[in-house]
Amino acid sequence: MVFDAYRLPEEHEAIRAAAREVCDAEVAPRAAEADDTATFPQASYEALRAADLHAPHVPEEYGGAGIDALGTAIVIEEVARACASSSLIPAVNKLGSMPVLLAGSEELKRAYLPPVAAGEGMFSYCLSEPEAGSDAASLKTKAVRDGDAYVLNGAKRWITNAGDSKFYTVFAVTDPSARSRGISAFVVEKEDEGVSFGAPERKLGIKGSPTREVFFDNVRIPASRLIGNEGEGFKIAMKTLDHTRVTIAAQALGIAQGALDCAAAYVQERQQFGRAIAEFQGVQFMLADMAMKLAAARQLTYAAAAKSERNDDDLTFFGASAKCFASDVAMEVTTDAVQLLGGYGYTKDFPVERMMRDAKITQIYEGTNQVQRIVIARQVLANVGSVFD
C-alpha cells in the first residue's frame, strides 16, 4: 500500500499502475535469479523495453516516451520495488544521457537519444576514478585535442552497467592547469577502438547490475562528440547529479516499499503464542515507524522530482536531501524488515535480505550521504533567511 499526502495526477497514477503490472509479472519473478547468478537481467530489460519503461525520460522528439521527472521517478520506484538491479536500467539510462540532454548539441541528441529510446543500447556515466571518488575534480583521465578529434587515455571505476551499455558519457581533463574548469565531457561508444572493461566487481548487492572499470587506451573520437564546450564538464557533471540524485531517492523508495510490503504480509501470517505477531504492540510500533518514514521520504522525493522537471533554483538542496533521506530510510526499513521476519529474514527464502543488501548502495553512489550533507549545509549557509518549499 502506498500512502500519499495528496493524490497524484491521473497520468502519474496510470504510469504507476502500468509499471507495477509489468514489474509484478515480468521483473519480480526474476529478481532472485539475477542476484544469485550476478548476471544482467536481460529478460527484465526486454520486458521494460516492450513497455517503454527502460528509458522513460527521453523526450518524444527523440523517439522516447517523454515521461516527466516525476513519472520517471515513479517508474524507477516501481521497478526497484520488484528488483533493485533492474531499476538501474531506467535510472542509469537517465544518468548517462542527462549530460547530452542538458548540454549536448542537437547533432549529439539526434545521434544518441533515439537508440536509447528504442532500446538499442544503454547509456552509462563515467565520472569516478581510482583516485577521484568524492573528490570528483581530481580526475586523471585525459582528452587531448588532435585536429578534428580527441584522444582519450585513462580509467574509470565503479561504472554501472559497464560492458553492457553501448554508450558512455566520459569526463576527462582537457586543461590540466585549470582543475575543475579544465574538465570536459564526451560521448564514447563501446565499440570505439581502445575501449576495454575490467572484470565485474564482486558486490554486496545490486548484483544483477554489472559494475566494472572502463579503460581508455588512445581512444580517438570525433570532436563532435564533445558535450557542451571545453571546460564545462565539471559543471555538467554536477548539474546532472542534481537531477539524477532524485532517481536514486526513487530507487531507495522502491526497495524500502518492497521490504515493507513483505514484512507487513509476513507478520499477519506468522503465529506465536497463539496469535499473529502483527497483534503485538512492539511489532506494530516497528511497522508504524517504517511506514511513517517511508511516506515522508516519498513526499520529499516527489517534491524534488517536480523541482527537477522545472529546473528550480533550489534543486541542488532538494536533490541532495531526497537522495540522502530516502536512502537512509531504505537502509533502516530493510533492516527492520529482516528483523520482523526473524530467522527467515536472514535467509534467501524471503527477499528482504536481498533488499537490505541492495539498499546499502543507495547511501553510497551518486555521492555518499556524508557528501550529500555537505552539499545540503552549503545550500543552507548560502541561503540564510530563504525558505525551501
Mean pLDDT, residues 5-20 taken together: 89
Alpha-carbon distance of 61 to 55, in angstroms, equals 14
Alpha-carbon distance of 31 to 53, in angstroms, equals 17
- Helix ranges (DSSP H) in 230-314: 233-269, 281-310
* 257 pLDDT more than 70: yes
Which cell is 345 given? Answer: 529474514
* Phi, psi (degrees; rounded to nearest 5) at 215: -115, 140
Domain 234-382 has CATH 1.20.140.10: yes
Which cell is 262 given? Answer: 513483505
**pLDDT > 70 in the chain, percent:** 98
Which cell is 82 given? Answer: 520488484
What pLDDT is recorded for position 3?
A: 45
Alpha-carbon distance of 229 to 294, in angstroms, equals 41
What pLDDT is recorded for position 282?
A: 97
Q: Tell me whether the CATH fold assigned to 10-117 matches the one assigned to 234-382.
A: no
Classify strands 142-146 and 149-160 as parallel, antiparallel or unpaired.
antiparallel
* 107 pLDDT more than 60: yes
What pLDDT is recorded for position 285?
A: 98
| The architecture CATH gives domain 123-231 | Beta Barrel (2.40)
329 contacts 335 by C-beta, under 8 angstroms: no
Per-residue pLDDT tens over the stretch 315-362: 999 999 999 999 999 999 999 999 999 999 999 999 999 999 999 999
Classify strands 167-173 and 123-126 as parallel, antiparallel or unpaired.
parallel
Domain 10-117: top CATH class:
mainly alpha
357 contacts 300 by C-beta, under 8 angstroms: no
With vertex at residue 243, the alpha carbon angle to CA 14 and CA 110, rounded to the nearest 5 degrees, is 80
Q: What is the pTM of this model?
A: 0.96
236 contacts 228 by C-beta, under 8 angstroms: yes
With vertex at residue 244, the alpha carbon angle to CA 249 and CA 322, rounded to the nearest 5 degrees, is 30
* 82 pLDDT more than 90: yes
What pLDDT is recorded for position 5?
A: 52
pLDDT band at residue 140 under the 50/70/90 scheme: very high
Alpha-carbon distance of 346 to 256, in angstroms, equals 17
Q: For the chain, give every domain's residue range.
A: 10-117, 123-231, 234-382
Residues recognised as catalytic: 366
Classify strands 226-227 and 275-276 as parallel, antiparallel or unpaired.
unpaired
Q: Identify the CA nearest to 254 among candidates 289, 288, 294.
A: 294
What pLDDT is recorded for position 6?
A: 64
